[in-house]
Structure 1
Amino acid sequence: MTKPYAEVIGDPIAQSKSPLIHGFWLEKLGIEADYRACHVTSAALPDYLAHRRQDSLWRGCNVTMPHKQAVMPLLDTVAPVAAGIGAVNTVLPHGGAGLSGTNTDAAGFLEPLGPDLAQTHYFRMARIMGTGGAARAIITALADKGFTLVVAGRDPAKARTLLDTLAPKGEHHAVALDHFANPTDFAFDDREDCLDLVINATSLGMTGQPALAFDWSHAPPGSIAYDIVTAPHYTPFLQGAAARGLRTVDGFSMLIGQAAAAFAMFFGQPAPREHDAELRAILTR
């Protein structure tokens, strides 16, 4: 390889849409560089980084499961945002300064909520399904934005630990994932001037996985439903929300947002976001 390049690493990695996204932007900008997927097992992670340290053409990598936490002790520096989340999803070379890690997941998650977060609310609440790596970024991001959080996991103790670690301030709650599976007759108020989010941060609903069991009677009026799953694009979770008349945000929003932040770091130019509609059409083929 003679051109500068970046890549995404993980195990498995064949399903990643990152090469398509970054390749699309590189072509639009006419940048002579590549972005590829690289299968890296947990055992091979130290050797992978050791080899890339010596490669002057390497511009960095995105990190996906299962390496977002395992990569951290192998780096020379970790940005405060990544240290706070406890996970790295972007690694960058800094010449003689070694390798640094950061995290663009939180910024990518918040991006489509920007207009909502710019408003003033007397109460903000988010119901977050999931306790994995993506949930860590989402919990951190929303706690910073003044949300009261309800985190639901198969293991409520793990959900509680995440809250205590990532959002120690505030009256947050940990519950079992099936807490939201059955109908509730709770009488929500009209929620005027409130911001309510319902977030699927699990892999449930992904192609080949069962749907997330969530009864929409648990969602206050005016809630925004946000699913980080990208395949399928329009998940059963989002379909259920739309049937209730709720606004939905799909997984491509976070995927493209976090990728754009990394792209600028890798290639020194902002991603050409004016082409988002065309990119989305390609991603949904």
Structure 2
Amino acid sequence: MTTPHPRAFVVGHPIAHSRSPLIHGHWLAEHGLPGTYERVDVHPDAFPEFVRSLHAAGFVGGNVTIPHKEAAFRLAEELTPRAGRIGAVNTLWFEDGRLHGDNTDAPGFLAHLDASLGAGWPEATGVANGRAALVLGAGGAARAILVGLLERGLDRLIVANRSAERAEGLTALDPARITASSWDALPSLLPESGLLINTTALGMAGQDPLVLDLAPLPAQAAVSDIVYVPLETPLLAAARARGLPAVDGLGMLLHQAVPGFRHWFGATPCVTPALRARIVADLESHG
């Protein structure tokens, strides 16, 4: 009797735009592994039943994207401490007969920072010795990134959001290290910031641009934008024009996929220039 090949998925609503099948398909071919990775479009009303039927359907696990991450958090039987803090799950897998959930956006973001800026970026940007990491936005991505920065040991994190109440809500993650600020205060915050991170949709294709004068940022600061369509957002273009390191959003997408692949297919893949080039080519051809 032959053993069925591992079968994994990415689930969302909608899901046709997802590049995850390209990423995991690339790694399956690169490692010469049997297995499949497929898109599954599931309406929110049907998501709990979808999760309950995973094992019976032959799935070994999968990725979860908008709008199901919070529901996956509630439905997973075992959670990593990181997922517990973030309150959302983007990676599911079976272990010892139980459904486990993690949020790999936090380590994915940090892995891309390390790859782009070097492992010593906290010292190089000044966020290891007094400067703030300034996070724009207060949604799910901001929460995951804040948890990752806390795990990395950063002492000073500022959240700026148009809704002050939502920004204040994120300070509960670590009131001693996270403060909230109004959007209007950004010009006064930039001079003391070593790392600026945009987690909002501003600058994304079809959205309003993020209008922000980067002149007050210190000369050693770095700028990151989790938007990857377009790959070069107006914010990143402005950072490069000032001679500041600019970190695009694609690397976070690539690096967050590594742990899931390891759980499902038993090999640890690498984020390589060849993989990045393949996804960039797809973005350029399909948008």
Does the pair score TM above 0.5? yes
Q: Show the 5 A alignment for 1:76-225.
A: 76-96=77-97, 98-114=98-114, 115-117=119-121, 119=123, 121-144=128-151, 145-164=153-172, 166-170=173-177, 172-180=178-186, 188=191, 196-225=194-223
Mapped to 1, the partners of 2:238 and 2:133 lie a distance apart of: 17
SS in 1 for 2:203: coil
How far residue 43 of structure 1 moved from its aligned partner, in angstroms, is 0.6
Spell out, residue by residue over 1:47-81, the C-alpha distance to the aligned partner (whole angstroms, 9 max, x if none): 111221323x3121111111111222212111111
> Residue type of the partner of 1:213?
V
Mapped to 1, the partners of 2:251 and 2:190 lie a distance apart of: 31
More displaced, 38-47 or 109-118? 109-118
Spell out, residue by residue over 1:83-113, the C-alpha distance to the aligned partner (whole angstroms, 9 max, x if none): 01211111112353x2111111111011133
How far residue 213 of structure 1 moved from its aligned partner, in angstroms, is 2.1
Mapped to 2, the partners of 1:168 and 1:264 lie a distance apart of: 34
Match of 1:45 in 2: 47
Match of 1:282 in 2: 278
How far residue 282 of structure 1 moved from its aligned partner, in angstroms, is 1.4
Match of 1:36 in 2: 38
| Equivalent residues of 1:205, 1:212 under 8 A apart | yes
User: In structure 1, which of residues 12, 19, 37 is the aligned counterpart of residue 21 of structure 2?
Assistant: 19
| Equivalent residues of 1:139, 1:167 under 8 A apart | no
Spell out, residue by residue over 1:131-165, the C-alpha distance to the aligned partner (whole angstroms, 9 max, x if none): 1111111111112322311111121111111112x
| Equivalent residues of 1:124, 1:146 under 8 A apart | no
Q: Which 5+ residue runs of structure 2 have no aligned equivalent?
A: 282-287
SS in 2 for 1:48: helix
Match of 1:253 in 2: 251
Alpha carbons of structure 1 residues 87 and 258: separation in structure 2 relative to 1, 3 Å: same
Alpha carbons of structure 1 residues 16 and 187: separation in structure 2 relative to 1, 3 Å: closer
> Residue type of the partner of 1:174?
A
Q: TM-score, normalised by structure 1?
A: 0.88
Match of 1:192 in 2: none
Match of 1:70 in 2: 71
How far residue 169 of structure 1 moved from its aligned partner, in angstroms, is 2.2
Mapped to 1, the partners of 2:131 and 2:102 lie a distance apart of: 27
More displaced, 204-213 or 109-118? 109-118
SS in 1 for 2:52: helix
Aligned pairs, number:
270
How far residue 117 of structure 1 moved from its aligned partner, in angstroms, is 4.9
| Equivalent residues of 1:154, 1:176 under 8 A apart | yes
SS in 1 for 2:69: coil
Spell out, residue by residue over 1:160-184, the C-alpha distance to the aligned partner (whole angstroms, 9 max, x if none): 11112x12222x322233543xx66
Mapped to 1, the partners of 2:120 and 2:245 lie a distance apart of: 12
RMSD of Structure 2 on Structure 1 (CA):
2.1
Q: Which 5+ residue runs of structure 1 have no aligned equivalent?
A: 190-194
Mapped to 2, the partners of 1:36 and 1:205 lie a distance apart of: 29
SS in 1 for 2:149: helix
Match of 1:243 in 2: 241
Alpha carbons of structure 1 residues 246 and 118: separation in structure 2 relative to 1, 3 Å: closer
